[in-house]
Amino acid sequence: MRRSLVAANWKMNGSREFITELLGAMLKRLDVAATETDILVCPPAPYYDLCAGMLEGSAVKLGAQNAHEAQSGAFTGEIAANMLTDFDVSMVILGHSERRSDGETDEQVAHKCAAVLAQGMLPIVCVGETLQEREAGQAESVVKRQLGAVLDHCGIEALAEAVIAYEPVWAIGTGETATPEQAQQMHAFIRGTVAQQSGHSAAKMRILYGGSVNAGNAAALFAQEDIDGGLVGGASLKPDEFITICESVSK
């Protein structure tokens, strides 16, 4: 049985004051929800320390929004995966479409994934097609290519521990959500693709849905057989809404 996971991606939002209030307002009820579901908050990097302190003794986990694949060196502005372990970061979002659209390649995502796994953290690898690709009938081939790069570089066994987030680009921050059936279809495709190489990895791997998840649509999405939770952007900045989403997990 896979344990569900709901991850909050705060993206580049907030301030010390805003994040203190946001996390402070949610923490007690999230802690209760975390007995049933893994819950992760991914703040902007300058606030890792603040959030790590606030999460001390809590079941809610700290996540990061990105990591660099190298351990150190001349990479101005980047953050190495090994640095994240100093803040008790347990999972790292990789290959978000907002980064892929800025030029991050499948190969870079795969190398980042290996670096994160090597540090004992779990990668949350984002995959998903654009509207143009969906309309051209390429949704599955795009997702298969993105997934394949990680599979080829990290190996099939690594995927048992990894989390995949299916995030159709056309649904991110747009208010347009994939229907539960559309999402389930792609999640089953992803699991089926992995199952061709390892039934064990396919059964263990968690697959999250992301794309305009909110308090109104979360339960129907999470009730689908192959949807193991959500990656939540905009709605995770609203305490009541995010709590309702976390409480919507039905398995």
Question: Which candidate in 167, 187, 241, 247 is catalytic?
Answer: 167
Binding residue for ligand PEP (CB under 6 A) from 67, 207, 232, 245? 232
Residue 96 among the catalytic residues: yes
Nearer to ligand PEP, 201 or 212 (CB): 212
Binding mask 147-186 for ligand PEP (x = CB under 6 A): --------------------x----xx-------------
Instruction: State which of residues 210, 226, 241, 247 lies at the interface with ligand PEP (CB under 6 A).
Output: 210
DSSP 128: -
Applying CB under 6 A, which part among 51-59, 105-113, 152-160, 230-238 lies near ligand PEP? Answer: 230-238
CA-CA distance, 193 to 201, in Å (whole number)? 11
233 counts as binding ligand PEP under rule CB under 6 A: yes
Between the alpha carbon of residue 226 and those of residues 15, 65, 73, 106, 202, the distances in Å are 36, 24, 40, 24, 10
**H helix intervals, the chain:** 16-33, 48-54, 81-84, 97-100, 106-118, 131-135, 139-154, 158-161, 180-195, 199-204, 218-222, 239-247
For residue 167, indicate whether it is catalytic. yes
Q: Does 123 bind ligand PEP (CB under 6 A)?
A: no
Give the residues lining the site for ligand PEP (CB under 6 A).
9, 167, 172-173, 210-213, 231-235
